[in-house]
């Protein structure tokens, strides 16, 4: 069995030290468990803050933020998908996820392909899109990487499954306008949509899904809906963080994925 820990919290805007300490505290609280993979939210160290993105990006190695994540990975003997940070490379900014293994090595990084430029979103005005889907084999299994809006694209998920992904990982800052967040009916509708999206990605591709979201108010315009979750290939929600700051945990059985892929060769069709 593979132990998955998924973090959900509301980052303190622009305060990397505070947010990294929060990451370490959540992992410490769950260090008695079998930890094979820890997944952090998009913008886990800064929150959604354009000033931090533009004025305090990380370098191509991930800067002090990823240095700290490496320390944490080694301390707790776990692999970490470090949500995403803003990476500066050759005067361009990328929304980048670093994957760190148990021995404090960066094994791969993924630059978000599908930027959010809709319904008031302006990510593409600051960030350069990546162009390479990424699958990486870790010591327990193979993961396919997404960041937030990537998850809206089913063909990308199928491509990751074709490349061997057994777990689709999605760090996100999935936010909605405050007028929807503050209304219980519209908030539930948005959370139901998000849960359905997680379920169908798992079911369609015969994989586990691990999504790690921020939660709570960001600013006067938007809030994050939470509902980080771990979903099985059978569409079962094994853990859901709902609308709370917390860490969720589940042990998953990757033998199930491998057996399903033999019985239903969905990824090899089309």
Which regions of the chain are under pLDDT 50? none
**How far apart (Å, rounded) are the C-alpha atoms in residues 254 and 266?**
17
**How far apart (Å, rounded) are the C-alpha atoms in residues 224 and 48?**
10
For 71, residues 6+ apart whose C-beta sits below 8 A from its C-beta are 104
The residue with tokens 């938007």 is 222
Quick one: the chain helix, strand, coil %, rounded to 5?
35, 30, 35
First to last CA, the chain: 31
pLDDT in the model for residue 265: 82
pLDDT in the model for residue 95: 96
**How far apart (Å, rounded) are the C-alpha atoms in residues 225 and 240?**
12
CATH of the domain at 164: 3.60.110.10
Burial of 7-39, coded b for 16+ CB within 10 Å and e otherwise, reads: bbbbbbbbbbeebbebbeebbeebeebebbbbb
3-state secondary structure of 47: coil
pLDDT in the model for residue 79: 98
pLDDT in the model for residue 270: 67
Look at the chain and report how many structural domains it folds into.
1
pLDDT in the model for residue 208: 98
105-157, pLDDT tens digit by residue?
999 999 999 998 766 667 768 899 999 999 999 999 999 999 999 999 999 99
**How far apart (Å, rounded) are the C-alpha atoms in residues 180 and 178?**
5
**How far apart (Å, rounded) are the C-alpha atoms in residues 87 and 83?**
12
Name the residue range of residue 6's domain.
2-268
Helices 16-29 and 63-76 pack at an angle, to 10 degrees, of 10
């Amino acid at each position: 069995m593979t132990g998955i820990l998924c973090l959900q919290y509301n980052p303190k805007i622009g305060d990397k030290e505070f947010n990294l300490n929060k990451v370490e505290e959540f992992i410490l609280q769950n260090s008695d468990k079998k930890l094979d993979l820890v997944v952090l939210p998009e913008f886990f160290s800064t929150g959604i803050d354009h000033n931090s993105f533009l004025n305090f990006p990380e370098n191509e190695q991930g800067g002090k933020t990823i240095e700290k994540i490496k320390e944490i990975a080694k301390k707790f003997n776990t692999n970490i998908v470090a949500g995403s940070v803003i990476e500066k490379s050759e005067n361009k900014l990328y929304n980048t996820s670093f994957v760190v293994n148990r021995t404090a090595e960066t094994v791969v990084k993924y630059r978000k392909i599908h930027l959010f430029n809709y319904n008031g979103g302006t990510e593409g005005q600051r960030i350069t899109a990546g162009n390479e889907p990424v699958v990486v084999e870790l010591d327990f299994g193979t993961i396919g990487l997404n960041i937030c809006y990537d998850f809206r694209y089913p063909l990308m998920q199928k491509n990751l499954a074709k490349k061997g992904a057994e777990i689709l990982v999605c760090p996100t800052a999935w936010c909605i306008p405050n007028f929807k967040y503050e209304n219980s009916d519209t908030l539930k509708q948005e959370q139901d949509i998000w849960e359905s999206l997680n379920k169908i990605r798992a079911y369609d591709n015969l994989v586990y899904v691990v999504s790690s979201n921020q939660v709570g108010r960001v600013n006067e315009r938007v809030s994050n809906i939470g509902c980080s979750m771990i979903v099985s290939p059978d569409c079962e929600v094994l853990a859901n963080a709902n609308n709370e700051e917390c860490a969720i945990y589940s042990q998953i059985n990757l033998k199930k994925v491998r057996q399903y892929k033999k019985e239903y060769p969905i990824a090899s069709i089309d």
